[in-house]
Structure 1
Amino acid sequence: MNLFRTVVGIDPSGKRLALSAVRYGVGRPSVAVPPVAVELRGDREQIRMAEAESVLADFVARNGLAGCEARLAIPAEKVFLARIPFPPLKSKDLRPALSLELDRIFPVPASRLKFNWRRLDGAAGRKDVRLVLVAASSEYIERWEELVSRAGLSLGAAVPSGWAMSETCRWAGEQAVSDGKLCAVLREMDGGVECTAIAGGEPFFSAVRACPPEGSPVEALNLLSESLIDAPDSVTEAEASVYAPSWWIREGRFPQAGTERANPVEGFENRMSAAMALPGEDAADPARFWRVLGALGAALCEKGPDLLSPDKEGERLRTTARTATIALAAAALLLALSWPASVAVRTKQAVDRLDAEIASLRPEVARVEETLAILGDLEGRIAYLKEARAGREEQILVLRQLTERLPQGTWLTGLRMEDLKVELDGLSPSANEIFPALARDGQFRKVEFASPITRQADNLERFQIRAEFSPVPPETPAEARKKP
């Protein structure tokens, strides 16, 4: 079904033909062209059908509607309607079961009828379900299907007039109908009056009664009273909101007696006329509005009981359910497939965020690494100094003692120390003076020449001396005070 399309509504109720075209698209459907209502002058139905074909073809050609879908509002006098209790069955079993009951319910053979039904709200605890069973002559519907086809349209549905009335009120935003309250639409027909009673958003009564024009309000209320005798349980004691021509009340033709449960709704005609007006046009005349009410409702009615192809309605519902199931399954599959991708995207976003944080910390890290390198270098130097100091105090003392004791002009060419043993190699102007200088105070013991003294060409003596260093403990302050 196309989203953007135009649907033509056809209402042949009474001895007139009402036509309306509704444009569908985004948002609320709107009236596409001005509706028309033409009086059919023929005395016989066959002549009126020929007149209707001519009027319909002219309407289609004048407004460029060829090829559009059409919907027929079956007049209330052509519809058989019954409210029946029925055992609760599955939808696929309900149609065969109801077809067996048609001969008993309606005065026309079932083979000559097309039927459909709607479920009414029932009382809690009731075993049976309440159904509104509607039927119409298959021959009548087929004649209209052929007529519509010759006029350049294709008949897409045929709905009872009552459902067309209900849909028009819902489209106009009438709260009582939308809320499922008890409502009634009363309108004058050619030589009669029509009453449609609605509850729970669905018509449960639709009938026409012949009467003179001056008796229309009284007969309409009589029909309403008859409809309430076997009303749905949810509205048994409810007050009916009545949508009726304003001139009935204005001219005093709406009787007060017997209207305890009928409450006329004010402003309905003004709201409907404004809704039907095209851009730049004034609101429609109320009398004209009542004549095209059924045609407008037929064009708007998409969920009413279709009598053109009732068998296909269940199939459409099953197809819709099947399509919805497939769509839900596809959505679930897409969600299942997109979940890993969403996890990967979130993970990548987290990684990118961490990379950005790391990049912002790199200068600080470089400074810390530089500081750690400096600390490492200092620690190495400190360790070297500690190592140089550890166990080498004696060597420093030896060097100090030798510096103080060796004669002037003496040069050391070698100094070896193993534990406390010291071996000296050097040159001196007088090597014999070194021996007593080392052994004078006991700091060096076992002093001896390791080799003979030899004189060099420069008149210096080469010597080699061995000794054992014996450091004297440092003097305490008390010992220093005892010295004279």
Structure 2
Amino acid sequence: MAGNNLSLGIDLGKNHLVLCLLQKTWRGIRLVDYQVKTWAEDFSVEDQLPFLSNFVAQYAVAKDKVFLAIPREKTVIRFLRLPLAAQENLRQVLEYEAPKYVPWEVEEICFDYQMLHRDGQGLSLVVLFSKKREVAHYLALLEKIGLKPHAIQISSVGALNLFLYHAGGNYKNNTVLLDLQGSMAEINFLKEGQWQENFLFTLPAEKKGEKIIQICQMGGVPETELGQTEFYVYGTGAETKSVSSWLDHPSLKYVTPPPRHKIKTRRGESLPPGIYGGVGVPLPGLIKTNYKLNLLAEEKKKKTRQMGKPLFISLVFLTILLTLSWIWGSYRKIQDELQFLRAEVNRKKPEVTAVENLKKEREKIVKDIAEFEKLSSLEARKIDILKELTQILPPTVWIWNLKAAGREIEISGFADSASDLIPLLDRSPLFEKVEFLAPVTKERDRRLGSDKEKERFKIRLYLEKKRL
């Protein structure tokens, strides 16, 4: 199973271990597998490492997708109000002020915070404190089986994120999340989807409902609003039948398990309320969650965040290398094809030269034939002209010069009456536009045996267009 869309949550309680493996699919978040292990007081978390190792060995989970929740008893939650001036160096301010909020020395403390609200009067934030040695202890345990968590939080933060994931922005005025773990109980108050307060307390042997109502009033929910407040109960203690009896109080009208329908299970079974907080622990590895509190030391958080940098650089380098390889391969392929084409051109060059020579020779022959046909046509046309002139002109007409250039014809000669020639030539179907080119002159006919005057003429005429 691919590990890039898997996220593992390890919820360590005082006497229980909840393992939840989530997967992000196109249909939403799916609970791939989960295991719950409880133990008696004389056992420790270290005794459960084989159980944890066997579960992890079944799945290829990415190292940056492991989330750890440590026991709530090992932490302290404070909701603080600070002046606006503290925002610029907020972490340094909290480090300096930490002994005011927890009974530990500064060098013992590790913490993380999240801004809840900012207005004109100041900053509202939630701070999660723990001891460095407690966090180091759990990190060392996980390192024994090769696990390095991406974040360390508490299961109540996971429950909040899971609840808000289901709410989808549809928030009620007052909401109470009640986590029952044996004799311990934890309450988280939300007002219009905003985290307001948190209480961890021991449940009394009797009058548990009254104790819960008392804590609610301490958290800012007056008794008059309890009837409109929704109570969502989860945890290993919520699976017992006695819960409904001691929560049967006139002021508590809406008591139900938290919504779980968005988490798909293997066979469609309902998500057990006992693992509700544990299911929310790995949720930040798959989606953007509302609350992100991480007790890892700053340098370890930076290291964790930077774990992906070498991989990212490697992927970028690999992408560039593959791109360059593809470009080089394409270039070599084009060069090979070009070389092949050049060789083909050189091989075909003599044939091309021979074809070009044949083409030139053909063009010369065609030109010679055209000239010959032109000459033949011209000679044939002159014969037709002479024949026509012989037929239409009187025998007394003597033509001593004839020129033909295109349609234009020029004839010179002698006739008894040159003016009679114009209508004769004009009536011919072969000629048109008949006219004298020069004035008619009279000359004596000097041919042998003749002493008669003749009129010398020079006439221009054109062949009919349809005759061409």
Normalised TM-score (structure 1): 0.57
Q: Cα offset for 1:130?
A: 1.0
- Would the aligned equivalents of 1:185 and 1:196 in 2 still touch at CA under 8 Å? yes
Query: Where does the alignment leave 5 or more consecutive residues of structure 1 unmatched?
Result: 43-47, 231-235, 328-398, 425-433, 455-460, 472-484
Q: Deviations over 1:433-462 (max 9, x none)?
A: x8xx54999x997533152534xxxxxx7x
Residues 130 and 413 of structure 1, relative CA distance in 2, 3 Å threshold = same
What code does the residue aligned with 2:160 have?
S
Task: Give yes or no for the alignment of 1:448 onto 2:443.
Answer: yes
Residues 6 and 38 of structure 1, relative CA distance in 2, 3 Å threshold = same
Query: Where does the alignment leave 5 or more consecutive residues of structure 2 unmatched?
Result: 316-388, 404-409, 423-438, 460-468
1:154 match: secondary structure:
coil
- Would the aligned equivalents of 1:20 and 1:299 in 2 still touch at CA under 8 Å? no
What code does the residue aligned with 1:264 have?
Y
Task: Give yes or no for the alignment of 1:412 onto 2:398.
Answer: yes
2:93 match: secondary structure:
helix
Aligned residue pairs total 348
Q: Deviations over 1:5-32 (max 9, x none)?
A: 451412314xx21322314354444333
2:213 match: secondary structure:
helix
Q: Which runs of 4+ in 1 moved over 6 A?
A: 89-92, 314-321
- Look up the match of 1:53: 46
- Look up the match of 2:41: 41
Structure-1 separation of matches of 2:29 and 2:418: 131
Residues 415 and 130 of structure 1, relative CA distance in 2, 3 Å threshold = same
Identity %: 13
Structure-1 separation of matches of 2:5 and 2:208: 40
- Look up the match of 1:97: 93
Residues 222 and 127 of structure 1, relative CA distance in 2, 3 Å threshold = same
Q: Cα offset for 1:76?
A: 3.1
- Would the aligned equivalents of 1:164 and 1:300 in 2 still touch at CA under 8 Å? yes
Which residue of 161, 183, 186 maps to 1:167? 161
Q: Cα offset for 1:239?
A: 5.5
Which residue of 183, 198, 209 maps to 1:206? 198
Give the 5 Å matches for 1:375-390: none
- Would the aligned equivalents of 2:19 and 2:35 in 1 still touch at CA under 8 Å? yes
Residues 12 and 413 of structure 1, relative CA distance in 2, 3 Å threshold = same
Residues 57 and 110 of structure 1, relative CA distance in 2, 3 Å threshold = same
Give the 5 Å matches for 1:170-189: 170=164, 173-175=166-168, 179=171, 182-189=174-181
- Look up the match of 2:207: 215
Give the 5 Å matches for 1:8-407: 8-13=9-14, 16-27=15-26, 28-42=28-42, 48=43, 51-61=44-54, 64-65=57-58, 70-88=66-84, 93-123=89-119, 126-170=120-164, 173-175=166-168, 179=171, 182-199=174-191, 203-228=195-220, 240-244=229-233, 245=238, 250-251=244-245, 253-257=247-251, 264=254, 266=256, 268=258, 271=260, 275=263, 277-279=265-267, 282-283=269-270, 289-302=272-285, 304-313=292-301, 403=393, 406=395
What code does the residue aligned with 1:36 have?
V
Determine which structure has more spread, i.e. the larger CA radius of gyration.
1
Q: Cα offset for 1:163?
A: 0.6
Residues 191 and 439 of structure 1, relative CA distance in 2, 3 Å threshold = closer
- Would the aligned equivalents of 2:114 and 2:126 in 1 still touch at CA under 8 Å? yes
Structure-2 separation of matches of 1:446 and 1:301: 125
- Would the aligned equivalents of 2:180 and 2:186 in 1 still touch at CA under 8 Å? yes
What code does the residue aligned with 2:215 have?
L
- Would the aligned equivalents of 1:187 and 1:290 in 2 still touch at CA under 8 Å? no
Structure-1 separation of matches of 2:226 and 2:208: 25
Structure-1 separation of matches of 2:452 and 2:440: 15
Structure-1 separation of matches of 2:83 and 2:90: 9
Q: Cα offset for 1:96?
A: 1.6
What code does the residue aligned with 2:446 have?
S
- Pairwise CA RMSD: 4.9
Q: Deviations over 1:340-399 (max 9, x none)?
A: xxxxxxxxxxxxxxxxxxxxxxxxxxxxxxxxxxxxxxxxxxxxxxxxxxxxxxxxxxx8
- Would the aligned equivalents of 2:3 and 2:60 in 1 still touch at CA under 8 Å? no
2:189 match: secondary structure:
strand
Give the 5 Å matches for 1:428-443: 438=417
What code does the residue aligned with 1:165 have?
A
